[in-house]
Amino acid sequence: MIAVVFWRSKDAWVRMISVLFLVNVYIKFFFFPQSAALRFFFPFIFPLFIMMLYVLSKKYNDLRLEKIT
């Protein structure tokens, strides 16, 4: 996910926030390795996933889902 953010985004703020989210995950598992179960992993990786979706939507001209009729 971080690779997609760096590949598709040229905005320094978006890149910095994505790196901070990634560092947050690594710090959490460095200090609390016993809680490496998946139920604790998803809430920490989800913000990075949201940033990836944000970058992809900006790259493709603010792509939005619209009503199909």
Give 65 or 59, the one with higher predicted confidence.
59
Residue 69 in domain: no
Q: What is the pLDDT of residue 9?
A: 84
Residue 23 in domain: yes
CA dist 58 → 3, 30, 37, 54, 64 (Å): 16, 33, 33, 6, 10
Residue 9 in domain: yes
Residue 64 in domain: no
Residue 7 in domain: yes
Q: What is the pLDDT of residues 5-50, one digit of tens each?
A: 888 888 888 888 888 888 888 887 777 776 556 566 677 778 888 8
Residue 30 in domain: yes
Q: What is the pLDDT of residue 32?
A: 72
Domain range holding 27?
A: 2-59
Residue 65 in domain: no
**What's the CA angle centered on 36, arms 30 and 39, to 5 degrees?**
135
Residue 44 in domain: yes
How many domains is the chain partitioned into structurally? 1
